[in-house]
Amino acid sequence: MGVRKDLKRAQRRSDLAERGKVELVRDEHGTVREARAPALVPRATAGSTADIPFTNAAEAPDAVVLRRKRSGRWHPVTAAAFAREVTEAAKGLIADGLEPGGRVALMSRTRYEWAVLDFAIWAAGGQTVPVYATSSAEQIEWIVRDSGARLFVAETAENAATAEEAVRALDAPPRIRHLDGGALAELTSLGIELSDEEVTKRRSALTPDSIATLCYTSGTTGRPKGCVLTHGNLHAEAANTVDLLHPIFKEITGQVASTLLFLPLAHILGRTIQIACLLARIELGHCPSIKPDELRPELRSFRPTFVVGVPYLFEKIHDTGRATAEKIGRGASFDRAERIAVRFGEAYLNRFLDRSGPGPSLGLRAGWALYELLVYRRIRKEVGGRLRYAISGGSPLDRNLNLFFYAAGIVIYEGYGLTETTAAATITPPLRPRPGTVGLPVPGTAVRIADDGEVLIKGGIVFGSYWNNPAATDAVLTGGWFATGDLGALDQDGYLTITGRKKDIIVTSGGKNVSPAVLEDRLRSRAPVGQCIVVGDNRSYVAALVTLDPEAVEHWLAVRKRPKDTPLADLARDPKMIAEIQKAVDHANAAVSRAESIRRFAVVEGEFTEDNGLLTPSLKIKRHAVTAAYAAEIEALYGE
């Protein structure tokens, strides 16, 4: 099994074994309250991330740094070619009116042109404002208005139309172009008269303290907030994670490290992975979709050696394997393979990490060998056949699922972070995996547990402020420590486990942060909905429980000349009533992106009241009480 051999070889490398070690601070009871990881790469004192393509072109012009899919085939892009495209786009942006420090909104799925434009914006001295391709007009309007973006590049004509609708009422709406309409060619043509020296001049003026990007949060506590991230923040994240992980991905395996990026580049994790790959000259390809049916063929054709994903992806790969087995009458065999994988992975890791136990028994090894032929190698084939490592973030990955992939020859490193920490603040160290935790602090970072259990983070990756929002900044930043709003604990070795959230923000299994308040407020504003609760934490989609307002129901029945005492059970199945509730759901969904929208709902009996303990005196939902009271109904929302 390649992964086990990799880890054994790496364990013999003392320099790798020392990477990622942490200093621990304990309280008087011996509990670890803080873990600090020394930086592997010095903090940048000059230059910016805008320099990366040009440094690559100068040092290794013929190195393949990206692969771009055209006409069904992956074509290599050299460092020199990429730097040339970045320069041409940067000149076009300058000709189009981008001033130093100006902001450009970029609304697109993950694709090659995103990388060109992001670096071109920086090379022209500008700041990128990412916008999710699924954003609503309401979300776009707020981001553009708050950021002051004067240029807007969308992916499709549909995206551009949504943006035009969103910004129509602004005093100074941005100029809008779209990629499918030839935006890059237009920019190249616009800038043809400018000299390359103008780009060099602007790029040279940037420093690590220059603002690189405004990344807007998901609006989990109200309107989205723009996180101000500098070039120094991006460098601290990318350089330290590369130095920690790249020796495993490349030197130990003997493979040319490569990855297919499919996370949205509007999300900070996808963005920093792209920067890290270009920094390390790791071959990078782009895929615009995380939908399993669309992603799997791309993985098989690109054949990456590692990927970065969210739990949803790994769940779907596993579920597809099981579904395939069921189709050929081998569902029970797959279940046995899964049980053996979990036991094998647990036993092997215990031995590898010098814990108790002799490692897998002969019988367990024989079982693993059998299912390696029948199941595990098929799982690897689904993701291209060369994949040995993966990074999972966004929400917790089920421990048994992690062990299943380990036994199938794929080590999944878990991490944890936020937009405010420039993506990963913790990550599993290469030689000390610990499934069920989110790892140790990223080198150059410290993690502290506050007295109330809140996770605090400090280091070069921590953002400096929220754009135009000093009050929100002051609420989360104290003495350089960022209060995450998440609850967690450090074990005796400094590994972090996230135990919950101080506020009831939903995080789907796809890693999407969802504010239930936005949806619930709009849902309740439409009859016949009385009270409601949005659910979906660690689930694949968002759903809702809805109660009916008695007065609205009485009116609805009267208009239709229906009996006043019509049972709720009948109403809950009535197509016309369901259609009315669906209208309310559609109204709620109009304020959010598709990933945050309510996919299913159930009408439940009774009301949420203070008397039955489901509302506070101020009429706020007691979320935990409601989910406990209606646990069966919630489970049914996610059943087949």
Domain boundaries, the chain: 49-239, 515-637
Distance CA 624, CA 628 (A): 6
Let me know how long the chain is: 640
User: Residue type for 142, please?
Assistant: W
Q: Which two tokens stand for residue 572?
A: 């809950």
pLDDT digits (tens, 9 = 90+) for 368-385: 999 999 999 988 888 899
What's the pLDDT score for residue 221?
A: 43
What is the SS3 assignment for 188? helix
What phi and psi values does residue 226 have, to the nearest 5 degrees? -85, 110
Q: What is the CATH number of domain 49-239?
A: 3.40.50.12780
Which residues have C-beta within 8 Å of that of residue 309, sequence separation ≥ 6? 262, 263, 290, 390, 391, 392
Is domain 515-637 in CATH 3.30.1050.10, yes or no?
Answer: no
3-state secondary structure 548-611: ECHHHHHHHHHHCCCCCCCCHHHHHHCHHHHHHHHHHHHHHHCCCCHHHCEEEEEECCCCCCCC
What is the SS3 assignment for 470? helix
Question: How many angstroms separate the first and last alpha carbons of the chain?
Answer: 36
What's the pLDDT score for residue 254?
A: 72
CB neighbourhood size of 222 (10 A): 11
Q: Which residue has the tokens 């506050």?
A: 450
Which residues have C-beta within 8 Å of that of residue 222, sequence separation ≥ 6? 515
From the list 397, 394, 422, the residue with the least C-alpha distance to 411 is: 397
Q: Which residue has the tokens 């920094």?
A: 279
What's the pLDDT score for residue 204?
A: 97
Instruction: Identify whether the C-beta of residue 450 lies closer than 8 Å to the C-beta of residue 456.
Output: yes
What's the pLDDT score for residue 496?
A: 95
pLDDT digits (tens, 9 = 90+) for 619-628: 567 788 888 8
Quickly list H helices, 19-152: 52-59, 79-95, 112-123, 137-147
What's the pLDDT score for residue 523?
A: 84
Instruction: Identify whether the C-beta of residue 480 lies closer than 8 Å to the C-beta of residue 489.
Output: no
What's the whole-model pTM score?
A: 0.80
What phi and psi values does residue 304 have, to the nearest 5 degrees? -70, 160
Which residues have C-beta within 8 Å of that of residue 335, sequence separation ≥ 6? 322
What's the pLDDT score for residue 252?
A: 67
With left for phi above 0 and alpha for psi between -120 and 50, is residue 485 left, alpha or beta? left
Chain centroid to CA 237: how far? 15
From the list 132, 102, 105, 134, the residue with the least C-alpha distance to 118 is: 105
What's the pLDDT score for residue 77?
A: 98
Residues of the chain with confidence (pLDDT) below 70: 1-18, 20, 218-222, 249-253, 326, 353-357, 500-501, 504, 610-611, 616-620, 640
Please, is 407 exposed, middle or buried when counting C-beta atoms within 10 Å of its C-beta (0-12, 13-18, 19+)?
buried
Please tell me what DSSP assigns to residue 348.
H
Q: Which two tokens stand for residue 171?
A: 């005093």
What's the pLDDT score for residue 2?
A: 59
